[in-house]
Amino acid sequence: MIKTISSSSAFVQVTGGFPSSGPYLQTPAVAGPPPAVGAVKFDSASQNLQVWDGFNWLNMYTSHAMVGLNSAAEDAIKWAQQKQKEEQELEELMQRSPALRDAYEKFQIVKTLATNENRQPA
């Protein structure tokens, strides 16, 4: 059973988790009839999940998982964020400068023509 999940990446967000409301008994257990075999509770003193075996509360063995992205994925996200920022800055400049907008539009036309020219068979 996984006890915690955390992230090593600025681009992966881990939310929610345990303890949460659910089919768990409160600690300490309320006096009364014993719980059903297999009942689970969270022991806040030991910070462990425990299961009732019919006689005792036993700690459940848990592990901790780490979730992240490899360096290539992180680099791709950083590159995309930088490109997005550059495009936003260019758009703002073109809104303030009609001459820049005109030059950009002409550049796009020439780029399209050059691309199409290179695609045509010789």
Residues 2 and 60 in one domain: yes
Q: Which domain holds residue 2?
A: 1-69
Contacts of 76-82 with C-beta under 8 Å, sequence gap 24+, read 77/11
Number of domains in the chain: 2
State the Cα–Cα distance between residues 87 and 48, nearest whole angstrom.
50
User: Are 58 and 2 within one domain?
Assistant: yes
Residue by residue, pLDDT tens for the chain (122 residues) are 666 777 778 888 766 655 444 444 555 555 667 788 888 888 888 888 888 899 999 988 777 777 888 889 999 999 999 999 999 999 999 999 999 999 999 999 999 999 988 787 76
Please check whether residues 59 and 109 belong to one and the same domain: no
Q: Do 8 and 47 reside in the same domain of the chain?
A: yes
* 10 & 58 share domain: yes
Which pTM does this prediction carry?
A: 0.52
